[in-house]
Amino acid sequence: MSQKKESFLSKYVFSTDHKTIGKQYLFFGMFFLLWGGLQAMILRWQIAYPETTIPIVGHLMFPDTNGALTPDTYNQVLTMHGTVMLFWAVTPLLSGAFANFIIPLQIGAADMAFPFVNMLSFWIFFLSGVILLLSHYGPGGSAASGWTAYPPLSTPVGGIPGWGQALWALSLVLMGTAVIMGALNYITTIIRLRAKGMNYLRMPLTVWGLFLSSILNAIFVPIIAAGLIFLLLDNVLGTQFFVAGPKATIAGGDPLLYQHVFWLFGHPEVYILILPVWGIVSDLLSTFSRKPAFGYHVTVICMCIVTTLSGLVWGHHMYVAGMSPLLGKSFMFLTLLISLPTSIFFLNWLGTMWRGSLRFETPMLFAMSVVFVFGLGGLTGLYMGTITSDMYLHDSMFLVGHFHYTLAASVLMSSFAATYYWFPKMFGRKMNPLLGKIHFWVTFLALNYVFFTMLTVGYAGQHRRLFDPSAYDFIKPLMGLNRNISTFAFILGGVQILFLFNFFYSMFKGEKAGRNPWEAATLEWTVDYPVPHGNFSTPPVVKCGPHEYSNPKVKGKDWASQTEEIPA
């Protein structure tokens, strides 16, 4: 396979090599991460300095209003920030870039089970992103009903004109199609193409996380796709599946049906994003603590339990939507049940570092910071998962802080960890460690100020999605803190330029990395850069688990690759 002559197009554009597709997803995800980040900066500018010209990008993006936001463009930017970050930044990074690049290499496969479908999946994803971006320039601008797009606001009855909502739904359906294709590919690859000796309980936890995440994708994305097709019909054909009340002209619609369908997908989506994070962090903590992942089997079982429960808790997003008491209580019980397996594997993270020999390389710093931010994100979930405290904190800035700790902080910190960690296998060079550490500390501190202070103002009563929060007297005293959040958000955004510089500089000028710069045990580190199309010259045979670090039976080094026999 590797000897075949390839043209530029088939090698870099329409490649079926999982590593190339992984890199394509990486650049695609990074582009949208920047786009979504820019939108966050614009939102924070509006909160801090309402209705003033946004520096640098203002005149370019909002020429009609002197470069300032208006309530309608604010809602558009808010909607696109959420949508882009979740579905076009974080999803392609985790379920696209890392899943593609890592799964075949770590299980010892030559490629994905369906390389052509893999390529097709990326280009459908790409198309969906183009449609979403272009919706900004269509009549009426982009969608403006929040990333949750609750009808009837997201239908013609909602009074938001233009094509934005329809294009939003269309691009999400396309994106969902790409994700389903990817997920089926990953599941098949993991089940069918594991190397000899790579049984399920020798798979790295990263693969476990991506495996479970793909299963959730394959089950739940079709549900939201169906819901979004109905929403699309409501928008373009005048049906009213999700419209009721005095404004409905056709009987039988139900806005709550959409909320159920949305969250039946939407809550597993949280775990779709967080399961790969758990896997990556578990593996990295083990590698850089030079110690096997503590309680590997228990961690795997806990991840499976969480995966199962994740489909049974969606109602906790709807506690204040007029839910029947019986349903409310059931959802609350199931939601809080998740803390049991979660706290057990969280303990295993600490167990991995306990009595280890911790190497504070850049990926390790990011991985350890996930223990911190996910701890806070998980614990603040208790407030949201309990009905009576949710009555007060629902739709508040406290909620915004909570899900940014779990989704933004945990997912991005682990994505950075993964990028610094696998960069040598992707590009043959290491990223600069000094720049990496500066990037880490500024990101970590700024991010915590931003999200913690969101919890603070939410606790004091501020609700969310406000064009100008000072319209309310009870929020006026909180405006100083809101401006501080903005300042630190700009620092957080600004320091990512350092990351980008490091990324592209190191790609060409970074220190050359050997085959195994981190002295890691998993299979991807047994092949030299550049890894050829087809990966392994001879199919690897796996002889031990993924975390053989500091095993006293292995002489001369503190690790053993999965292809090595551990002496008896």
Partner 1 sequence: MSIWGLPFPQDISTNGHLIDALIQYIDLVLVIFFGIVVAALVFFIIRYRSRPGHSAVYDKGNKIGNVIFAICMGLLVFCSIDAVIEHMSFRDLKDVFWNFPQGKNVLKIEVMPQQFAWNVRYAGPDGEFATADDIVAPLSQMHVPEGVPVVVQLSSFDVVHSFYVPQIRIKQDVIPGMVTTTWFQLTKTGKFEIACSALCGNGHYKMRGMLTSESKEEFDKWLAEQATPASSGDDIWGDTSSGSSVPKNWGWKWQAKS
What tokens appear for 193 in the block? 């193409």
Question: Shortest Cβ distance from residue 110 to partner 1 (Å)?
Answer: 30
**Residue 358 burial (CB count, 10 A):** 13
In sign, the C-alpha dihedral spanning 499, 504, 506, 512 is positive
What tokens appear for 494 in the block? 């600004």
Closest CB to partner 1 among residues 62, 101: 62
Closest CB to partner 1 among residues 12, 333: 333
Question: Shortest Cβ distance from residue 338 to partner 1 (Å)?
Answer: 9
Question: Shortest Cβ distance from residue 158 to partner 1 (Å)?
Answer: 5
Q: How far is CA 515 from CA 250, 340, 444, 528, in A?
A: 65, 40, 30, 5
Question: Shortest Cβ distance from residue 384 to partner 1 (Å)?
Answer: 10
The neighbouring-strand residues paired with 549 are 559
Question: Shortest Cβ distance from residue 93 to partner 1 (Å)?
Answer: 25
Closest CB to partner 1 among residues 66, 357: 357
> Residue 9 burial by CB count (10 A; 0-12/13-18/19+): exposed, middle or buried?
exposed
Give SS3 for 463: strand
Closest CB to partner 1 among residues 5, 139: 139
Distant-in-sequence, close-in-space partners of 533: CB < 8 Å, separation ≥ 6: 1, 2, 4, 6, 17, 19, 111
Q: Tokens 């701890």 sit at which residue?
A: 375
The neighbouring-strand residues paired with 541 are 196
CB contact at 8 A, 202 and 170: no
Helix orientation angle between 411-427 and 433-459, rounded to the nearest 10 degrees: 160
Closest CB to partner 1 among residues 41, 144: 144
Cis amide linkage into residue 152, ω under 30° from 0 = yes
Question: Shortest Cβ distance from residue 413 to partner 1 (Å)?
Answer: 14
Closest CB to partner 1 among residues 197, 295: 295
Question: Shortest Cβ distance from residue 249 to partner 1 (Å)?
Answer: 12
Closest CB to partner 1 among residues 114, 372: 372
Phi, psi of 495 (to 5 degrees): -70, -15
Closest CB to partner 1 among residues 115, 227: 227
User: Which amino acid, 251?
Assistant: A
Question: Shortest Cβ distance from residue 436 to partner 1 (Å)?
Answer: 17
Closest CB to partner 1 among residues 63, 245: 245
CB contact at 8 A, 502 and 440: no
Question: Shortest Cβ distance from residue 165 to partner 1 (Å)?
Answer: 12
Closest CB to partner 1 among residues 474, 504: 474
Question: Shortest Cβ distance from residue 191 to partner 1 (Å)?
Answer: 25
**DSSP 8-class letter at 419:** H
Distance CA 100, CA 106 (A): 11
Distance CA 553, CA 535 (A): 30
CB contact at 8 A, 45 and 54: yes
CB contact at 8 A, 323 and 315: yes
Q: How far is CA 504 from CA 380, 430, 508, 509, 517, in A?
A: 37, 11, 7, 9, 19
CB contact at 8 A, 175 and 88: yes
Closest CB to partner 1 among residues 114, 459: 459
As a whole number of Å, the CA-based R_g of the chain is 24
Question: Shortest Cβ distance from residue 227 to partner 1 (Å)?
Answer: 16
